[in-house]
Chain A
Amino acid sequence: MSPNITQSWVLALVPEIGLVILLAAVLLYDRLVKPEERRRVGLLTAWGAFAILVTTLGLWLATGEPNNATDIGTSLMWGGMIRFDLIALVFHVIFLVALMLTALLSLDVEHLQKGEYYALLITAAIGFSLMGASADLIMLYVALETASISSYILAGFATKDPRSSEAGMKYFIYGAFATGVMLYGMSLLYGLTGQTNLYILGSIFGGFQQIPTEVNAVVILSAVMIMVGFGFKISAVPFHFWTPDVYEGSPTPFTGYVSTASKAAGFAVFLRVFTTGVLGEPSDASMWWAMLIAITVITMTLGNFVAIFQKNFKRLLAYSSIAQAGYALIGLVTLSPDGSSATMYYLLMYIFTNIAAFGVITIVSNRIGSDELEDFSGLSRRSPYLALVMMFALLSLSGIPPTAGFFGKFFLFRSAVNAGLWWLALLGILNAFVALYYYLSAVKYMYLYRSENEDDPIPVSRGAKVGLAFSLFFIFYLGIFAGPIFEWTRTAADAFFVLAR
């Protein structure tokens, strides 16, 4: 690796550099703007995120970088800390879109109209972006902590609501513990090899025909510990206990953010670490693979079955998001380019779907001051368009065409069958029907049950309308014209397997 900073090195960091500039701008603007026009801070964040998104994609199209070069040496940058590949690009798009939509949907929530809120959202986005690109255990850890610490504060941001403080505290304690365990697992790997770069680690362990038994025990131990940290991020069972409380207590737009961007970032590192062969070949002999499959099955099943009994919309979506993580894990456990691309596609569609759902909850609960399912009764008469967006978001979560979720699930189940795990696909499908039951029950509240204040429409600001319309558009776009996007993630996924056996 040459020490000269080339054009690609800068290109690799464009989103992060943009976000840092945006962060400074937001903090500065927050001081300058009149108190009654605080809303504009949020608009600045949204526009800024959009501009960075356009720049990133534009530079990609203009320079052709990142491309799918299989040479690891040229794609590792900044001293091997990050890797500039299509995977990073896919995840940058995911995080920037999430940031933009979250900012748009936070606009009208009064207690969130503060510069600090948006600044923290941006900081978290920087952390997520670096997680998506990191190729080194140290970078990975630093990025993960950047994202996590901002998230802990955001979860407790509604200081007047005791539930929010509880959420922040709970998130912090669980998070600190989980990342601590993960760090210990990483240090074991370092102790074995003296290396921290994922690709060097990958080639070391990939080089073994059979990892020696005494080493293997340590590797498995470290795999399990790393799984704890990542599993916490994606709220996989049994590291999911924080999820419902944090989702319920946090400010709703942030819940949307944490359930999509944070989860996607968790999957980014999960995929990166587990598919580069850092922990050796997956096979029936490697115990961590069996464990991963067990986690997948339990995550989707438990999430869905507990969600059935929820009476609070945010808690329902919290458990549903646990289950969704389970589906996305199906792509991971196949440990194939096919599966990884399916997972990435799923995360992409999940951004639009879940943020739309939480956006509707934000708007409604901002008006009626409650997010119980019962209080959504008669929503279709009160605000037909909000109900429509919510319905399509829920249908997308359950995987019904022509919404994005259908293709998302199809790609996942297809990759599972391809990997010979057809029983896993079958379990996934049966789970999808359990999920359909409670999603449809939620639809029933909005469309069937009546309430007294049906003539009192819920006002939606222009910013929120744009956010919801954008999400809805992509829910359908990804559900109908899935081809190009899937090809894109499919090409990107090859970059995971550069050390391909």
Chain B
Amino acid sequence: MEFPFLSIIVLSPLVAAAIILLMPKERGENARMLALATMILGLILSLYVYVAYNQNLPPAGTRWADTLMFLEEHAWVPSIGVNYILGVDGLSATLVLLTSIVGLGGVMISWGITERPREFMAFFMLLVAGVQGVFAAVDGFLLFFFYELAVLPMYIMIVIWGWKERREYASMKLTLYLLIGSFISFIAFLVLYFQLPEYSTATAPTFDLRIWSEANFPFAIQQVWFLPLFLGFAVLAGIWPLHNWSPDGHVAAPTAVSMIHAGVLMKLGAYASMRVGIQILPEGTVYWMPFIIFLTLINVVYGSFVAMRQRDMKYLIGYSSVSHMGLVSMGFAALNAKGFLGSGIQMVSHGVMTALFFSVVGMIYDRAHTRNMDDLDGMGKPLPWLVVPFIIGGLVGMGMPGLSGFLAEFPIFLGVWQGGSLNLSGAVFGLNPANYYPIIAIISALGIIITAAYILRAVGKVFFGEYQGEKWHDMRPLFALDKVALIMFSVILIVIGVFPAVIAPIVQSGMAPVVDRITDAQHAVTFLDTVQTAATTLFSWFGGA
């Protein structure tokens, strides 16, 4: 048997959580050390997985099932086709690595936590385990299992360690939004599960996604069940109008949780909606995406506008996350290789970027006890270490060339611009996707300007200006671990930007099978056609010509 890399990455935090919870109350110090050790172990292993995968990328045109590496398979509840299968493709290897990085950063940033450090670390470990599990799962049931596992610690961590004024409201809202979303997906998944056997080579019903990824459901089923399957998960990716939980959740959460939450958890939604929604139901995707792209456009533009209005730094970043995650979904909606590549890179880039943002804000808040930009001035003076990382993060957000954001956003816009090339027939009021996709690309690219506006304003407001030393009595320097985390995040953003080769090929190899599925999808009927038919029917009802 091969060395179980993925199992250790996924399960070691669970074991650590159990050990930490059973430790005596006084041993907060040991809890932190154990958490840090687990995260470092996870980082080393996932780095190995990433590099190993990168060295023998599958050639283009490989089936998804054959692109998986580090496979581990064990029976779980075999009679109903539930198995413990872990494995990574190019995208998930990248996201596992991202989770390890952000998780390690999260532990470092929370080093100074004084209130119940033991429980904090235990639940944080649980959260990381759940996220890693989703990325590594190749079994549909396992994916849901870990997904639920990841959501619940969020509730507990926000409610216990969160911001006092909002935590009860925000945590409950977040939990209910996410769990309801995922379970609606789950029902859709179950419905498909019982339709599956007739259309695949498998004899017994199964949750094995390798078989699902090649299933051809009838168009009628795809049409109906794509929307619940996709949107249920897209809730976690913050898609408009179901994004409402996200800024509140970000704001109320303690720093490390905000980092994991915005940095990784939202990618979980995007990843799962792609893996389960788009990959399984490509025709449903082609049918709905020309409509969903409008939602993502609202995400991008509306998110930026709302962010512009915020005075609270965490709300600012929260809404900017909504806007940036909208770009990920928009990349999916482009329905071509460029869009998906951009989405994949955007997941990573945004993950590191928000982790960086939230850690900076957390560090300021710990010292200044306020996040209101009107009150903060000249923070660059006492905390010089924060300035450069924050500016780097900001430039990434604006998509500045030379940083990872450009590498992510440019393909997305390019992909959307070309999105109409799928030759879809919808033409309601002259609205053929080929006609309006470029316009969407233009509008959303303009959204970047707004991003630039609010980021630059925040930088100017918070870090520059006159520092009033007497106002801030609690202003202590940063911990060494804080600096390590900041440097780590900044370096990653720059390295990706300067050497795209470290990430682009592997992400592309992960996205290729999904894009192939969409390209192979036969039905070029879209939502717009249905609208047109309905409109025509209605019109003729009223006695129109």
List B contacts of A400 (CB < 8 A): 148-149, 152
List A contacts of B14 (CB < 8 A): 402
Asked if B184 CB lies within 8 Å of chain A CBs, one says: yes
Asked if B450 CB lies within 8 Å of chain A CBs, one says: no
Asked if A271 CB lies within 8 Å of chain B CBs, one says: no
List A contacts of B191 (CB < 8 A): 417, 422
B172 touches A440 (CB 8 A): yes
Asked if A444 CB lies within 8 Å of chain B CBs, one says: yes
27 residue pairs from A and B, CB less than 8 Å apart = A384-B119, A395-B152, A400-B149, A406-B148, A413-B187, A413-B190, A417-B190, A417-B194, A422-B187, A429-B184, A429-B187, A430-B180, A436-B175, A436-B176, A436-B179, A440-B155, A440-B159, A443-B156, A444-B168, A448-B159, A448-B160, A482-B76, A483-B78, A483-B82, A486-B77, A486-B80, A487-B77
Q: Mark A271-290, 1 if CB is under 8 A from B, else 0.
A: 00000000000000000000
List A contacts of B75 (CB < 8 A): 483
> Nearest Cβ distance between residue B228 and chain A, in whole angstroms?
10
- List 10 tightest A-B contacts by C-beta distance, closest first: A483-B77, A417-B190, A429-B183, A401-B148, A401-B149, A401-B145, A400-B152, A433-B180, A483-B76, A426-B187
Asked if B71 CB lies within 8 Å of chain A CBs, one says: no
List B contacts of A410 (CB < 8 A): 141
List B contacts of A193 (CB < 8 A): none
- The answer for the CA separation of A401 and B155 in the assembled complex, in Å, is 14
- The answer for the CA separation of A402 and B147 in the assembled complex, in Å, is 11
Asked if A138 CB lies within 8 Å of chain B CBs, one says: no
List A contacts of B148 (CB < 8 A): 400-401, 406
> Nearest Cβ distance between residue A156 and chain B, in whole angstroms?
39
Asked if B21 CB lies within 8 Å of chain A CBs, one says: yes
List B contacts of A444 (CB < 8 A): 159, 168
Q: Name which of A406, A413, A414, A437 has the most chain B CB atoms within 10 A of its CB.
A: A414
Taking a contact as CB atoms closer than 8 A, the residue among B119, B159, B190 that contacts A425 in the complex is B190
List B contacts of A486 (CB < 8 A): 77, 79-80
Q: From residue 411 to 429 of chain A, which have CB atoms closer than 8 A to chain B?
A: 413-414, 417-418, 422, 425-426, 429
List A contacts of B309 (CB < 8 A): none
Q: From residue 143 to 182 of chain B, which have CB atoms closer than 8 A to chain A?
A: 145-146, 148-149, 152, 155-156, 159-160, 168, 172, 175-176, 179-180
Q: From residue 94 to 150 of chain A, which have CB atoms closer than 8 A to chain B?
A: none
List A contacts of B193 (CB < 8 A): 414, 417
> Size range of the interface on A?
20 to 34
List A contacts of B21 (CB < 8 A): 388
List B contacts of A413 (CB < 8 A): 186-187, 190
Asked if B311 CB lies within 8 Å of chain A CBs, one says: no
Asked if A447 CB lies within 8 Å of chain B CBs, one says: yes
Asked if A355 CB lies within 8 Å of chain B CBs, one says: no
- The answer for the CA separation of A289 and B203 in the assembled complex, in Å, is 32
B145 touches A402 (CB 8 A): yes
Asked if A83 CB lies within 8 Å of chain B CBs, one says: no
Q: Mark B188-221, 1 if CB is under 8 A from A, else 0.
A: 0011011000000000000000000000000000
Q: Mark A435-455, 1 if CB is under 8 A from B, else 0.
A: 011001001100110000000
Taking a contact as CB atoms closer than 8 A, the residue among A384, A425, A437, A482 that contacts B172 in the complex is A437
- The answer for the CA separation of A447 and B159 in the assembled complex, in Å, is 8
- The answer for the CA separation of A418 and B194 in the assembled complex, in Å, is 7
- The answer for the CA separation of A430 and B182 in the assembled complex, in Å, is 11
A437 touches B187 (CB 8 A): no
Q: Name the residue on A nearest B176 (C-beta).
A: A433
> Nearest Cβ distance between residue A228 and chain B, in whole angstroms?
32
Q: Name the residue on B nearest A430 (C-beta).
A: B180
Q: Name the residue on B nearest A479 (C-beta).
A: B145
- The answer for the CA separation of A297 and B370 in the assembled complex, in Å, is 49
Asked if B476 CB lies within 8 Å of chain A CBs, one says: no
- The answer for the CA separation of A157 and B63 in the assembled complex, in Å, is 67
Asked if A315 CB lies within 8 Å of chain B CBs, one says: no
- The answer for the CA separation of A432 and B79 in the assembled complex, in Å, is 26
Interface residues of chain A, those whose CB is within 8 Å of chain B, are 380, 384, 388, 395, 400-402, 406, 410, 413-414, 417-418, 422, 425-426, 429-430, 432-433, 436-437, 440, 443-444, 447-448, 482-483, 486-487, 490
> Nearest Cβ distance between residue A49 and chain B, in whole angstroms?
28
Task: State the total of A-B contacts with C-beta under 8 angstroms.
Answer: 81
List B contacts of A429 (CB < 8 A): 180, 183-184, 186-187
A406 touches B145 (CB 8 A): yes
Q: Name the residue on A nearest B74 (C-beta).
A: A483
Taking a contact as CB atoms closer than 8 A, the residue among B146, B155, B160, B183 that contacts A432 in the complex is B183
> Nearest Cβ distance between residue B398 and chain A, in whole angstroms?
39
List A contacts of B152 (CB < 8 A): 395, 400
Q: Name the residue on B nearest A388 (C-beta).
A: B21
- The answer for the CA separation of A168 and B192 in the assembled complex, in Å, is 49
List B contacts of A487 (CB < 8 A): 77-79
Asked if B457 CB lies within 8 Å of chain A CBs, one says: no
- The answer for the CA separation of A487 and B141 in the assembled complex, in Å, is 17
> Size range of the interface on B?
35 or more
Q: Name which of B75, B78, B183, B194 has the most chain A CB atoms within 10 A of its CB.
A: B183
Other than the given A402-B14, A417-B194, A418-B194, 19 more pairs (CB < 8 A) read: A400-B149, A401-B146, A406-B145, A413-B186, A413-B187, A414-B80, A414-B190, A417-B187, A417-B190, A422-B190, A429-B180, A429-B187, A433-B180, A483-B75, A486-B77, A486-B80, A487-B78, A487-B79, A490-B79
Asked if B25 CB lies within 8 Å of chain A CBs, one says: yes
- The answer for the CA separation of A440 and B155 in the assembled complex, in Å, is 9
- The answer for the CA separation of A201 and B314 in the assembled complex, in Å, is 68
> Nearest Cβ distance between residue B68 and chain A, in whole angstroms?
23
> Nearest Cβ distance between residue A391 and chain B, in whole angstroms?
8
Q: Name the residue on A nearest B148 (C-beta).
A: A401
Q: Mark B110-126, 1 if CB is under 8 A from A, else 0.
A: 00000000010000000
- The answer for the CA separation of A422 and B188 in the assembled complex, in Å, is 9
B25 touches A384 (CB 8 A): yes
Q: Name which of B180, B184, B187 has the most chain A CB atoms within 10 A of its CB.
A: B187
Assess A448 versus B168: contact at CB under 8 Å? Given A400-B148, A414-B190, A429-B184.
yes
Q: Name the residue on B nearest A395 (C-beta).
A: B152
Q: Name which of A406, A430, A448, A482 has the most chain B CB atoms within 10 A of its CB.
A: A448
List A contacts of B190 (CB < 8 A): 413-414, 417, 422, 425
List A contacts of B194 (CB < 8 A): 417-418
Q: Name the residue on A nearest B164 (C-beta).
A: A448
Assess A447 versus B176: contact at CB under 8 Å? Given A395-B152, A401-B145, A414-B80.
no
- The answer for the CA separation of A148 and B76 in the assembled complex, in Å, is 39
> Nearest Cβ distance between residue B23 and chain A, in whole angstroms?
10
Q: Name the residue on A nearest B22 (C-beta).
A: A385
Q: Name the residue on A nearest B18 (C-beta).
A: A476
Assess A433 versus B145: contact at CB under 8 Å? Given A414-B80, A422-B191, A483-B75.
no
> Nearest Cβ distance between residue B75 and chain A, in whole angstroms?
7
- The answer for the CA separation of A355 and B82 in the assembled complex, in Å, is 29
Q: Name the residue on A nearest B189 (C-beta).
A: A417
> Nearest Cβ distance between residue B7 and chain A, in whole angstroms?
13
List A contacts of B156 (CB < 8 A): 443, 447
- The answer for the CA separation of A315 and B409 in the assembled complex, in Å, is 54
Q: Name the residue on B nearest A476 (C-beta).
A: B18
B175 touches A447 (CB 8 A): no
List A contacts of B172 (CB < 8 A): 437, 440
- The answer for the CA separation of A487 and B175 in the assembled complex, in Å, is 32
- The answer for the CA separation of A482 and B119 in the assembled complex, in Å, is 27
Q: From residue 53 to 97 of chain B, which have CB atoms closer than 8 A to chain A?
A: 75-80, 82
Q: Name which of A401, A413, A429, A444 has the most chain B CB atoms within 10 A of its CB.
A: A401
- The answer for the CA separation of A482 and B76 in the assembled complex, in Å, is 8
Q: Name the residue on B nearest A483 (C-beta).
A: B77
Q: Mark B365-382, 1 if CB is under 8 A from A, else 0.
A: 000000000000000000
- The answer for the CA separation of A235 and B385 in the assembled complex, in Å, is 63
- The answer for the CA separation of A176 and B78 in the assembled complex, in Å, is 45
- The answer for the CA separation of A436 and B75 in the assembled complex, in Å, is 30
List B contacts of A430 (CB < 8 A): 180
Q: Name the residue on A nearest B24 (C-beta).
A: A384
